[in-house]
Amino acid sequence: MKDNIKQIFSFFVMIAVFVGLTGCGIVNSGTTEYNELVALVQGVQSAAANFQLVTDTQYAKIQAKSQITKDYYERGQQQR
């Protein structure tokens, strides 16, 4: 599912870049446009990786807190 989110995010960014480059009427050389597109795609991939890192970190925190809570209540049950 995370890969799908990355692909969808990349696709929308590439469409926005394409519309932006073609809509402003600036004609650059093919090489320059290609290099700009590659740089933008790399930026999108970096942002997606950062988003995944944040998501994974938060998920791990939730899992750890859930385990701590579970352990706490299980110890309480055992002591009774």
Hey, CA dihedral for 30, 32, 35, 40, is it positive or negative? negative
The distance in angstroms from the start CA to the end CA of the chain is 43
pLDDT of res. 80: 61
The domain locations on the chain are 2-20+29-79
Per-residue pLDDT of the chain (80 residues; tens, 9 = 90+): 667 777 777 877 788 777 776 655 555 567 787 888 899 999 888 888 888 888 999 999 999 999 989 888 888 777 66
For residue 25, give Cα distances in angstroms to 5, 18, 22, 36: 31, 12, 6, 16
Q: Is the dihedral of CA 52, 53, 58, 63 positive or negative?
A: positive
| Residue 29 phi, psi (nearest 5) | -70, 155
pLDDT at residue 77, rounded to an integer? 77
| CA dist., res. 40 & res. 64, Å (int) | 36
DSSP state of 24: T
